[in-house]
Amino acid sequence: MRLLVILSMFASSTFASKFDIDTYSTPLDFAQVTQVLATQKSSGSWCFGTSVRHNDQGWAHYADGWEVIDLDGNKLGHRQLAHPHDNEQPFTRSQCDIKIPSEISKVIVRAKCNKHGFGGKTMVVELSKN
């Protein structure tokens, strides 16, 4: 019986469902996704134009990337941001050639900073397929 309980606990944590988009921090110390434009290319891959707002404070604390994940939290693509955007808020950067399996109709875009990581507002994006 004890083994069954342990296995049950393990299975429930390992196979946790959907990524939690409703829990996030609103202060601009956390990178916040404000807008996303997703377009599918003729090759089938995707381009994401993502706007991020963050209280960048030079190299010590800045938004350093965003990523596209599926609803279970699996990473599908990312964009590294190479420098602070202290005087450009919010800012938009794009990333193309992101491959998304055809059975996926919604993704989540989330941003991160080099001090707090992920934790700001995400955005669920409906994919309009060609």
In the CATH scheme, what architecture does the domain 16-126 have? Sandwich (2.60)
- Specify the DSSP class assigned to residue 98: E
Q: How far apart are CA 87 and CA 64, in angstroms?
A: 15
Give the pTM.
Answer: 0.83
CB-based burial of residue 13 (10 Å sphere; 0-12 exposed, 13-18 middle, 19+ buried)?
exposed
pLDDT tens series, the chain, 130 aa: 333 333 333 333 344 456 777 888 899 999 999 999 999 999 999 999 999 999 999 999 999 999 999 999 999 999 999 999 999 999 999 999 999 999 999 999 999 999 999 999 999 999 987 6
Domain ranges of the chain: 16-126
